């Protein structure tokens, strides 16, 4: 099944089950994270779907703009850098022994069709990624336990302000601009997944990134297990698995997003993000 | 005034006003962060204190173990590295143009007198720090606005697992072990602060770190303003300002905490953290 978080008027959201193209069945939870917090979430979805088959069906048709970031209140958004062999080489680095991890907050997330407003950066770059949604608590778990704890998979773009990212040794400030990491449109549950994913990124329709998650140095279960050695993961937490080759800063000459550009991020079997950028004035006075 | 978060039985906490040595007046909020989320928090504290002068006083006497981490549910815990001139030099780096920032989560925090259990690291190091508590929303704020938004100051120790921290370029995994960053015992409100702070760290009673926040490259208001250029800060968020010279990894030979060691962290005018360490088995199988 595919789950989404829909916007419902003023700052409200609801979890929803995807029924068909642009049609969703609202579920009794404020978002997918809140749904997953209930260990019986699968039964809740099934019971709601069974009831919806009645004439009083609550199925709604929504526009892309009504899709919220999948996990608007994720407690943890942990990202892995340098995880595809080809991207590692384009960044000029060697294959790693340990995953390179950094943290950001739910404020960084935005919806799958939202306009992304950037203030104060002139080097806005893309990173198309598979993201893993945690479905149950994990602490010092092995890979098998971690695999069992995966609720599903979604699409994200770890949009990065390279000027801020490279100001210091730590990437956080270039990765944590509010409302710049689109995530969605849906989470495909793990039981609907068989094999690896093709991840692609497009700028104004031009394919710029393409990779297969089968080439990840650290796959989803390995990443979750590794992270859980030092911090607990909870239902609704999000782990971004890294980006394949083809980012703008790796090009010759480097290439960044311009005001008005449209970034699309696509994973077969999950869905597509399509976000237009508004790049505002350069670095603000205080930065 | 000085505010704390007290433990109240099974997983419960309450915000409290410090009345004297080890005596506190419980306040109508689950923790200091929840208290600060109400813009009228000062009036709430005053009204509660006025009512407590009556014979039915609710003042309680608590042991250090009953003190929770000051902000157990902080939405953001943002840390600045390399912010004291002497520490920057001991790490072999130059004075920075921009603050080096990294993020962690509230799960990393622990109480001011809690035993700190470390699993899987053999290089546990200390970083005594002044921490700033955000009192009102800040977004793209200048330094004056940021100064006004500071609710108060507390003591923290950004305990770091140097083996994990140095595995990759990003420090997060060495900084985000659950329940390893003590914070408290109280927040001194900004209106009670006049000037700079002396920050000191002790291992088994031996002074190992000492610095004055007057020598910070990026002071509290500058840090909050800078961070707010890219992400919103909210009441109860915590910003750690960096550590002075004297960390173990900077010593010749390097020195790390052993099982049973007691780390004390002290700031005059705020208070003292005192945490014993239990250093468990080395790196686990999955790490």
ipTM: 0.95
Answer whether A121's CB lies under 8 Å from A163's CB.
yes
Residues of A in contact with B75 (CB under 8 A): 105
- Hey, which residues 110-139 in chain B have their CB within 8 Å of chain A? 119-120, 139
**CA-to-CA separations, B222 to A156, A172, A252, B176, in angstroms, rounded:** 32, 17, 36, 24
Residue B283 has pLDDT above 60, yes or no: no
Residues of A in contact with B226 (CB under 8 A): 286-287
What pLDDT score was predicted for residue A81?
93
Residues of A in contact with B79 (CB under 8 A): none
What pLDDT score was predicted for residue A282?
67
Strand order in the sheet with B262-267: B116-118, B271-279, B262-267, B198-203, B206-212
CB pair distance less than 8 Å for A172 and B103: yes
To the nearest whole number, what is the mean pLDDT of chain B?
A: 94
**Cα A214 from Cα B46, distance rounded (Å):** 60
What pLDDT score was predicted for residue B287?
45
Residue A150 has pLDDT above 80, yes or no: yes
CB pair distance less than 8 Å for A168 and B107: no
**Cα A37 from Cα B72, distance rounded (Å):** 20
- pLDDT, tens digit (0-9, with 9 covering 90-100), for B211-242: 999 999 999 999 999 999 999 999 999 999 99
CA angle A123/A248/A201 to nearest 5° reads 120
Residue B271 parent element (H or E) = strand B271-279
- pLDDT, tens digit (0-9, with 9 covering 90-100), for B99-149: 999 999 999 999 999 999 999 999 999 999 999 999 999 999 999 999 999
CB pair distance less than 8 Å for A81 and B170: yes
**Cα B79 from Cα B26, distance rounded (Å):** 29
**CA-to-CA separations, A32 to A6, A14, A227, B59, in angstroms, rounded:** 9, 8, 22, 42
Residue A56 has pLDDT above 70, yes or no: no
Answer whether A199's CB lies under 8 Å from A167's CB.
no
Q: In order of start, what are the domains of chain A with their CATH numbers?
A: 2-66 (no CATH), 77-279 (3.90.850.10)
CB pair distance less than 8 Å for B164 and A230: yes
Q: Which residue of B has its CA nearest to A161?
A: B230
**Cα B161 from Cα B139, distance rounded (Å):** 32
Nearest to A171 among B170, B177, B232 (CB): B170
Q: Which residue of A has its CA nearest to B96?
A: A168
């Amino acid at each position: 099944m595919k789950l989404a978080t829909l916007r419902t008027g003023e700052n409200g959201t609801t979890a929803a089950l995807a029924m068909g193209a642009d049609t969703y069945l609202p579920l009794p939870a404020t978002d997918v994270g809140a749904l997953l917090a209930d260990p019986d979430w699968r039964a809740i979805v099934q019971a709601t779907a069974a009831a919806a088959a009645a004439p009083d069906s609550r199925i709604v048709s929504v526009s892309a703009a009504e899709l919220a970031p999948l996990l608007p209140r994720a407690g943890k958004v942990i990202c892995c850098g340098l995880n595809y062999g080809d991207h590692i080489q384009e960044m000029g680095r060697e294959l790693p022994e340990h995953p390179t991890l950094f943290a950001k907050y739910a404020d960084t997330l935005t919806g799958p069709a939202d306009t992304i407003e950037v203030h104060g950066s002139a080097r806005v770059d893309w990173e198309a990624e598979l993201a893993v949604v945690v479905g149950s608590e994990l602490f010092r778990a092995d890979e098998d336990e971690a695999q069992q704890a995966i609720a599903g998979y979604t699409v994200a773009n770890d949009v990065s302000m390279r000027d801020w990212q490279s100001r210091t040794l730590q990437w956080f400030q270039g990765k944590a601009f509010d409302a710049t990491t689109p995530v969605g449109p849906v989470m495909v549950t793990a039981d609907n997944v068989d094999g690896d994913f093709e991840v692609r990124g497009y700028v104004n329709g031009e394919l710029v990134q393409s990779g297969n998650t089968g080439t990840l140095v650290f796959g989803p279960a390995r990443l979750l297990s590794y992270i859980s050695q030092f911090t607990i993961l909870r239902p609704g937490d999000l782990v971004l698995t890294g980006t394949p080759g083809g980012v703008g800063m790796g090009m010759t000459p480097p290439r960044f997003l311009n005001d008005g550009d449209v970034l699309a991020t696509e994973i077969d079997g999950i869905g597509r993000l399509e976000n237009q950028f508004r790049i505002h004035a350069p670095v603000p006075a205080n930065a």
